Chains A and B, each alone.
Chain A
Amino acid sequence: MKLEFDAVTKRYGDHTVLDAITAQLEFPHVLALLGPSGGGKSTLLRVIGGLESPETGSLTIDGQRVPTGEKPLRTFRSNIGTVFQSWNLFPHLDALANIMLPLTAVHGLAAEAARDRSLELLERLHLTGHGHKRPAELSGGQRQRVAIARAVAIHPRLLLLDEPTSALDPEMTAEVLEVIADLKSEGRTFILVTHAMNFARSIADQVAFLADGRIVEQGSGQAFFSAPQSETAQRFLAKVLKY
């Protein structure tokens, strides 16, 4: 997959979150966006997912321009699977209904077909028997796996994972990381924002390092972690990998 950013700028009030990003990111399956908090990773992910529109500049995905305007953006978003840090499941629906809703309401599947596909996914994500439970009755790790199932069920062209394990304890983190690793071996394409450096190192084909609203550095996962080029990245890695 190939992403091309052309002078993408995003501001919140006076604060420039993305500062005229011009870059090409190419990766076979997994791109990790890394960097310090407030560096613009999540915002960049949201721009890629069509949840935010940049003030200026444009972005193409595999040569196709990310649209502007509510209606084309909605169609665009519906083909991208997004997983949020705090899962954002619908609390009034059980796990099964959460996974089925986009299928029936947005993608026009019949209830039966949607149910079959959702049940199969629940099984694959080790959630058999939890389909009738509401999010409040599930553990954090289970919730995040339901959220991943919801995102994967639509057969997205691209999956976006925004700090999927930041709100989880170590054991649940392990459950979820395992599922994400499975996604890679299934050959899915996804972009991951994470602070789990060791995981990023093991799973990312390509890494983009963001700080102060810019892509400071990019390279293969291997190269980035063994020999970061920029001083910012060197300092960042030294700090986060120290303990």
Chain B
Amino acid sequence: MTRHQTINAVISVLLAGLLLATACFAIFQALSWNWSGVWAYRQVFWQGWVNTIWISLAALALSVLLGLLAALGRRARYPALRWLSAGYVELIRGTPLLVQLLILFYVVADAVGLQNRYLAGILILSIFSGAYIAEMIRGGIESIGKSQLESARAIGLTRWQTYRHVIFPQAMRHVLPPLAGQAASIIKDSSLLSILGIEEFTLAAQQVNSATYSTLESYLPLAVGYLALTLPVSLLARRLEDKFRYET
């Protein structure tokens, strides 16, 4: 970066910060804080936050599995499997999560008699996220050079052994950094599950808000609570990127 660019960047950041500070100051001045009202509901916040964590973890595990299956499906020998996987990935990536939640929850889950809204919510979130992970895994697999596959063939590895000993370990370095980023996305996207009445973090904040009429005091902890989860994950993603870039 040249000196000129550095100065520009610094000025931009300062200006943006000044603007934000002014806005916050104006809002905070206009409001009279009501933290004590919200504090009484800390248990609700806590429970919602914990729910968000395990919902996200479950969805992450399940979507990695789905993504792996879809990625392998796109490379399968049978055309039907390839089309099915491609259709899944394109359909899901081409529609908003909110729309998927509405259709899959109120139409599909209802039709198949899936009553547990937590299970349904985790499944839908996994289906959504799995499509993105499928593309990451596919990219990782396709980054393996032809010569590697030829080498595996030459020493007589089976298809499965080739995946296990040659493709997966090498694809891992390409997949892990974006996967960590996807984990942060899942945490944020899980907030949409609140519309299904799943008592995760966002719904908890909404409940506190409607009980206390303290909007800012309800939603500020919400933002902080999400940041407390996503910042470490993003940091991990950055670390992984640096580590693998260094190794190659």
Contacts and interface: CB of A to CB of B under 8 A. Distances in A.
A238 interface: no
B169 A92 contact: yes
Given A74-B158, A75-B156, A84 B151 contact: yes
A129 B170 CA distance: 25
B157 interface: yes
- Interface of chain B, main secondary structure: helix
A77 B165 contact: no
Interface in B142-174: 147-148, 150-151, 153-158, 161, 165-166, 169-170, 173
A234 to B, nearest CB: 35
Interface stretch (A23-31, A33-41, A98-106, A220-228): A98-106
Given A75-B156, A77-B154, A102-B156, A88 B161 contact: no
Task: Please tell me the size bucket of the interface on A.
Answer: 20 to 34
A35 B147 CA distance: 24
B155 A101 contact: yes
B147 A84 contact: yes
B148 A106 contact: no
Contacts, number: 52
Interface in A83-127: 84, 86, 88-92, 101-102, 105-106
Contact of B155 (A75, A86, A106): A106
Interface in A131-177: 150, 154
Interface of B: 147-148, 150-151, 153-158, 161, 165-166, 169-170, 173
Interface of A: 49, 51, 74-75, 77-80, 82, 84, 86, 88-92, 101-102, 105-106, 150, 154
